[in-house]
Amino acid sequence: MREENECIRLVKLTLAGNHEAYGELYEKTVADVYRTVRFLIRDAADAEDLVQEIYIHAY
């Protein structure tokens, strides 16, 4: 629950325009997001592209 609260805090800071918070949020979540995408998308290059798109849209 503590990590979830930290992510929520970072999302709120990001929405307020804090670029450093977005960087922290990215670092905390990118491995899990990539792992999930890679499970669904077998091609590594396509998975990397999709993860990149996810974070672009999230920002």
pTM: 0.82
Q: Which residues constitute the domain of residue 21?
A: 1-58
Give me the pLDDT at residue 3, please: 83
Q: Which of 17, 15, 51, 52 is nearest to 36 (CA)?
A: 51
Average the pLDDT over 39-58 and give the result.
95
Q: What is Dmax (Cα atoms) for the chain? A: 36
| Per-residue pLDDT reduced to its tens digit, 11-33 | 999 999 999 999 999 999 999 99
Q: What's the domain count of the chain?
A: 1
Instruction: Please give the C-alpha separations between residue 38 and each of 3, 8, 9, 18, in angstroms, as whole numbers.
Output: 23, 24, 27, 29
